[in-house]
Amino acid sequence: MKTMRGFVTDDRLHRALDEVESWLGCEIKAVPMPEYHRRYATVGMSFSKTNGCELWYIEDEPPSQAACCHELAHAVRWIDGDPTFCSIHSTPLGKAPSPPVKQAWTLVQHIPVWHLVKEMGFDESEEQNQFMENLIQEVSQNSLYCDEPPDLMIPFQAVALAHGLSRPATPEKLDSLRNAAKDRIPKALELADAIVLAFKKQPQLSPKEFLDALTDLLCLIRTPTESLQPSFLSNTCPNFRLRILAAVNL
């Protein structure tokens, strides 16, 4: 059985992994990525009901150390108290049929992860190139939710833009996205900037702040949240992130 440790070569990540696995009480296994997830990523982290985590990888495409750090950061945030997943009417937001709902969920989920990865000393900007190029192309071609009714189009576009502008992308990619949005969808850019600024002011969210931010975004895209149901690890450790940073910076 492969484990995440088999993909880790950086001493900082070995120490962080020691802390995470010690808290979970088990090794993080490494398993081939499910086919459906390959459309969204080249690596991933999954949580099981027994408090175990699995690193999802693609054969012959070993993840970079920055990517390993990113996935480990997800586990750190779950231990810290973030929801492992959220659902509406029993449908996980990550598998929702509506792309804007998925983007709202992944944005709130990733803001503290991207920040933590940077704090741990890793640069993910090159990992984001393909995503950013695709988003820039959609905006430039005016095909980003352009068929939606006006009252939905701008919020949908804003969440998608915020998803790009919040990423640890290269300055060139961020500038290209912003310039394309200024030209094509300026109203959505204005709303996206407000979203990005709010997260910049507070990138590390408490569990309550996480759910409040998620609820706000879902309301923005006209998604009812009355049945929003979060799931958490049964054994959490507030400020576990600080323990990880201490281990990384030894």
- Sorting pLDDT into bands at 50, 70 and 90, what band is 51? low
Instruction: For residues 118-134, give the mean pLDDT.
Output: 94
Q: Is 85 helix (H, G, I), strand (E, B) or coil?
A: strand
Number of neighbouring beta carbons within 10 Å of residue 160: 24
Q: What percent of the chain has pLDDT above 70?
A: 98
In the block, tokens 């709130």 appear at 108
pLDDT of 50 reads 57
pLDDT of 250 reads 82
Distances (CA, A) of 138 to 75, 124, 134, 143, 207: 32, 22, 6, 5, 33
**What digits encode the pLDDT tens for the residues 161-216?**
999 999 999 999 999 999 999 999 999 999 999 999 999 998 889 999 999 999 99
Sheet holding 43-47, edge to edge: 29-32, 53-57, 43-47
pLDDT of 194 reads 97
**What digits encode the pLDDT tens for the residues 16-47?**
999 999 999 999 999 998 877 777 778 899 88
**What digits encode the pLDDT tens for the residues 59-79?**
888 899 999 999 999 999 999
d(CA 19, CA 32): 24
pLDDT of 142 reads 93
Bridge partner residues of 91 (DSSP): 88
